[in-house]
Amino acid sequence: MAIDDDAGTTVAEIEPIKPALIAELTWAKLYTKAMHKDLGAISTAISKSQPIIAGPEMKRSAEKLHDQLRSANRTVGELSDHVGIRPAPVKR
């Protein structure tokens, strides 16, 4: 069997993992697409709403989401490194 990486993992050990990995990445793409749509709707609703809706609880939730997305972005960077591509730049 051929060695696939420096850790000594063989191709035969990796092949069964690929379908699950592709399924996870497909799910992530669909999930983030839906999140993007929802975040747009939330932003629009907040900008049109009364000030009371955008209170401290929502601020804490938004900060938590920010932290979680920062972590997810690091994970995408790690996956990109593993496959030898550069992640898409974040537009600001």
CA distances for 72 relative to 65, 67, 69, 75, angstroms? 10, 9, 5, 5
Tens digits of residue pLDDT in 18-31: 889 999 999 999 99
Tens digits of residue pLDDT in 43-69: 998 888 777 677 889 899 999 999 999
What is the predicted pLDDT for the residue at 3?
47
Could you tell me if 73 and 90 are in contact, meaning their C-beta atoms sit under 8 angstroms apart? Answer: yes
**pTM, full prediction:** 0.69
The whole-angstrom separation of Cα 63 and Cα 34 is: 20
Could you tell me if 18 and 29 are in contact, meaning their C-beta atoms sit under 8 angstroms apart? Answer: no
